[in-house]
Chain A
Amino acid sequence: MNSTAFQKIYTKLNQITKATCSVKAAGVGNEEMAIVSGRYAQVVKIIGDSVTLQIFSGTEGIGTDAEVVFLGKPPVLKVSDQLAGRFFNAYGEPIDGGPEVEGEEVEIGGPSVNPVQRKQPSELIATGIAGIDLNNTLVTGQKIPFFADPDQPFNQVMATVALRAEADKIILGGMGLSNDDYLYYKNTFENAGVIDRIISFVNTTENPPVERLLVPNMALTAAEYFALEKKEKVLVLLTDMTLYCDALSIVSNRMDQIPSKDSMPGSLYSDLAKLYEKAAQFPDGGSITIIAVTTLSGGDITHAIPDNTGYITEGQLYLRRDTDISRVIVDPFRSLSRLKQLVIGKKTREDHPQVMNTAIRLYADAANAKTKLENGFDLSDYDERVLKFAREYSQAILAIDVNIDTVNMLDTCWELFKKHFNKHEIGIKEEFMTQYWK
């Protein structure tokens, strides 16, 4: 945060609002970083000689005579292998007591990848969780959030996925993370002995909310370095994107922008897309995969945040407690991985797509049977059978603490099909029936 001699220093603020201040200055670039009274700020608007700055940690106590130092560059991160194993704040400054990172200074939130230079994602990410591997297979280069209620164990599931995913680097972008959750991640990674593969950029609930806006781009800039320069498989975890969006709305509100739905800025879709679209499979092997968390309020997915997210990401995962078996499952109905068809039946066994669909259809029939039961109607023989099937399917496969490979998952499905149903109730292509219905 040191200012050097050639930087321009101004001391006449002519406007101060809750999040921004304006100063008369010349030669300033749009989106340039500055330091106002020792606090980081960024240029968000320039009209004539009046430069408006957004002060990340708020304007409390800022005086009209505050010293404004322009840094002559947008937010940057120094990238090199030294990032590995380190913990940083939203500005990319170490918070683990370690030394400053040396490396090339890169602008964060840089340009997007030329679409024709991308490669089609085709590498499966195995997690051992059937709700993912069987029903919603993840692929490198994908972006997908957990849509979860705040009380659901999404941080635990995400940490499990991250550890099993066999990524070269795991980059955690924590936004409004509680200190406990931050320590949970830290300990989990440490205990698993993978700390040298982890990089964290963390804004906790103790830090000013607007600072969060820098976190995803810090994480993604580091990810681009490892994916492109080092051709590594990088997994980026972003939690909680809802808190990121809240920060966006605070800023736009204070800039007097007309809000659109749910008091979110009208540009929410583009703002989120710019981040999520950093997920990519690069031609020479490196990839960036983004797994995010978007917390819902009361399960409402029509709220602007999950709604816009769903339109951007390649599917979404829901957690649900299956009360029949008292365990958490990845909800087979609403969860979806859009990229799964690139790998299922191709990188996995050929019967995968049909087995997956059939099992889910039967699971849906079970849900209908349950409704019937609740409404006091008699169950048919078929209803009884799908209910039994659903319970066993949930128990043996779906529960997130089950850890098996896809072949095993598929075989188990076939066993359950045979156990509970007739051939014609299955409706799978005949060539697979002859092969697997034994």
Chain B
Amino acid sequence: MTKGIVTGIVSNLVLIEVQGPVSQNEICSVVHEGLPLMAEVIKVLGNTAYAQVFESTRGIRIGTEVEFTKKMLEVSLGPGMLSKNYDGLQHDLNKMKSVFLKRGEYTEALDYDVKWDWTPIAQPGDKVTGGDWLGEVPENWIKHKIMVPFTMTAEYTIKSVTPAGQYTIDETVAVLVDKASKEHKINMIQTWPVKLSVRAYKDKPRPSRQMETGIRTIDTLNPIVEGGTGFIPGPFGAGKTVLQHSLSKNAEADLIIVAACGERANEVVELFTEFPHLDDPRTGRKLMERTIIICNTSNMPVAAREASVYTAMTIAEYYRTMGLKVLLLADSTSRWAQALREMSNRMEELPGPDAFPMDLPAIISNFYARAGFVYLNNGNTGSITFIGTVSPAGGNLKEPVTESTKKAARCFYALSQARADSKRYPAVDPLDSYSKYLEYEEVQEYLNANVSPNWVEEVLHTKDLLIRGREAYDQIGILGEDSVPLAYHDRYWKSELIDRIILQQDGFDPIDSSTPMARQRYMLELILSICDMDFDFDSFEDVMPYFTKMINLCKQMNYAEYGSVTFKRYESELHTLVAERRISK
């Protein structure tokens, strides 16, 4: 193993004089007062290695010993990760007992003392390669596949498979033989370097199936798909985190991985506190059972923040290769970019726009490219849907992180300050936001087949009504309420009806917070039918009171159990109200 000594310290960057070979991104330990502090080599110049330390460098002295590991930053993959709370380097936070995070106190990601209920899938004689399924163990409610390690990319023949039974993760479950007749013992643990993408799949087609999120402004207006990518930019306080939390609670995924990247600890505590108690409506189990939290809050070391998103992505790729539908959420990718900026600054690299590193766009797009829908070697499918938040400086979307992300992600959920200020939550701007997937033919077919025969057309019509409403509103503002034709008021209030009933959603109400697709269809078609009606008004002053009454009734419907007596009562009141002024064609 190569060793070295510290020759310089600039904040969390240390210079190391190395005695032997080192590689880029190699992990090393700076041994400070007996504690091994993890660091990653980010540049090598002659026999000086520059390493970013994943911890505070306080007290480190010149001459401190460094040990290199020959490995890049890796995660350990195996059963038992579900429900865990990890730091950015995959140390189990729950295993750390003290109130404060102690430097150099690292904990195991997996549990070595738990026995798992192993059932073989593969047979002796089968030809296998990295990512192929050897067997499975139940992990909470999923069937956790034990796979040929991703690093074993050649072809192997299975020599033996351990019979069904209870085993710990480090016991051998299969023996493989390579072309040179060498035997490889496989247990339930594998490791993978986080910065490289896992490619243990056959094919990555265009995604086509909608992923339901329960959030109307997404599902109805700008749907995301299984294996899709999206991002949520917005100024502070606009509702990025609340929206991501709603996604994590309601999205139709097998597994949720939340990367809290450089954001507030209290927000993660909210997940820790609530998820063990909240029910997953689809399985009836607790939400925590399908969730993994990677938590590197803003006060935790900056370098580990950068690593945290990769750790999360790698774990997502691992579960995707089991044929699962994974939703990966990262809040906020801007903090990750800032970590890159801090380091690039310290390295005195030539800065790009806003002092971010020049290769920021490439880094972001490589990361988003790791998401996706895949066909596995065995014909099964799996997906990673990735949604990141972006926190643009000054709320101005013309900044490097937003612009780079816009090129990489296919759904754009722009949160608007004005909507947030007027408490129109979720503050997703209906006109600026888009989903490229809505233009995919295969997605259109899927929606029309699964939601409603004319669904895509209805959605586009809704968008038109919103645009026309906005135009009418602007005209009213310019010309004055009594100087515009009555139709302008009608148009504006119809868009307001869509806005208040379809787009706005009370994220904290037990019923309204999540709307299944069937209910979204019902409500949209109901609202559109009203929007297509002509009403008889004597003066513009009649328009607003009439529509506020309608909005009020529809809102009560949103708060009521779908199809319940109360729901129907409000609906019939609505029909009576509509009939009052409706002009039959």
Which residues in A have some Cβ–Cβ distance to B below 8 Å? 26-32, 45-49, 74, 107, 110-121, 141-142, 228, 257-261, 266-267, 269-270, 273-274, 277-278, 280, 282, 302-304, 307, 310-312, 314-316, 333-334, 336, 338-339, 341, 353, 357, 360-361, 364, 372, 375, 377-378, 380-382, 424-425, 427, 429-430
Contact = CB atoms under 8 A, between A and B. Distances in A.
Given A141-B266, A269-B298, 12 more contacts: A28-B62, A49-B62, A114-B96, A114-B100, A114-B101, A115-B269, A258-B355, A260-B355, A266-B345, A274-B298, A357-B423, A430-B556
A424 B423 contact: no
Interface in B228-251: 235-237
Given A258-B345, A260-B354, A117 B264 contact: no
Contact of B394 (A267, A273, A307, A341): A307
Interface in B1-56: 7-11, 15, 56
Given A111-B56, A115-B297, A282 B236 contact: no
Contacts of B351: 258
B93 interface: yes
Contacts of A274: 298-299
A304 B523 CA distance: 43
Interface string B264-289: 11101110110000000000000000
7 contacts: A31-B59, A74-B59, A119-B269, A121-B266, A266-B355, A316-B237, A361-B423
Contacts of B541: 380-381
Contacts of B300: 112
B266 A111 contact: no
A30 B335 contact: no
B99 A30 contact: no
Interface string B544-560: 11001101100110010
A364 B391 CA distance: 26
A270 B272 contact: no
A29 B99 contact: no
A120 B273 contact: yes
A270 B306 CA distance: 13
Interface of B: 7-11, 15, 56-63, 85, 93-94, 96, 98-103, 235-237, 262, 264-266, 268-270, 272-273, 295, 297-300, 302, 335, 338, 341-342, 345, 351, 354-355, 391, 393-396, 421-423, 480-482, 508, 541, 544-545, 548-549, 551-552, 555-556, 559
A382 B237 CA distance: 30
Max chain B C-beta neighbours (<10 A), residue from A112, A258, A307, A311:
A311
A30 B57 contact: yes
A424 B548 contact: yes
Max chain B C-beta neighbours (<10 A), residue from A30, A46, A315, A361:
A30
A349 B480 CA distance: 41
Nearest to A224: B100
B453 to A, nearest CB: 34
A382 B544 contact: yes
Given A47-B7, A310-B236, A377-B480, A339 B62 contact: no
B341 A427 contact: no
Contacts of A31: 57-59
Contacts of B262: 269-270, 273
B345 A273 contact: no
Contacts of B393: 261, 302, 304, 307
A114 B99 contact: yes
Contact of B555 (A114, A260, A360, A427): A427
Contact of B422 (A110, A114, A121, A361): A361
A307 B236 contact: yes
Given A115-B93, A119-B269, A427-B551, A378 B482 contact: yes
Max chain A C-beta neighbours (<10 A), residue from B9, B57, B63, B273:
B9
Given A261-B393, A266-B345, A302-B394, A29 B61 contact: yes
Nearest to A303: B394
A29 B58 contact: yes
Contact of A260 (B264, B341, B559): B341
A200 B380 CA distance: 64
A46 B98 contact: no
B60 A269 contact: no
A118 B555 CA distance: 37
Contacts of B396: 302
A270 B334 CA distance: 12
Contact of A302 (B7, B103, B355, B395): B395
Nearest to B305: A270
B461 to A, nearest CB: 26
A118 B269 contact: yes
B272 A116 contact: yes
A271 to B, nearest CB: 10
Q: Which 6 A-B pairs have the closest CB atoms?
A: A302-B394, A273-B298, A277-B299, A310-B236, A29-B59, A112-B299
A425 B548 CA distance: 7
A160 to B, nearest CB: 24
A171 B411 CA distance: 46
B308 to A, nearest CB: 12
Max chain B C-beta neighbours (<10 A), residue from A46, A118, A257, A261:
A46
Contact of A353 (B99, B302, B508): B508
A315 B242 CA distance: 13
A46 B584 CA distance: 83
B33 to A, nearest CB: 10
B270 A120 contact: yes
A430 B8 CA distance: 67
Max chain B C-beta neighbours (<10 A), residue from A277, A280, A304:
A277
B338 A269 contact: yes
B307 to A, nearest CB: 15
Given A115-B295, A378-B482, A30 B508 contact: no
B345 A312 contact: no
A293 B273 CA distance: 30
A277 B355 contact: no
A26 B559 CA distance: 69
A381 B269 CA distance: 47
A13 to B, nearest CB: 18
Contacts of A118: 265-266, 269
Contacts of B237: 310, 315-316, 336, 338
B429 to A, nearest CB: 18
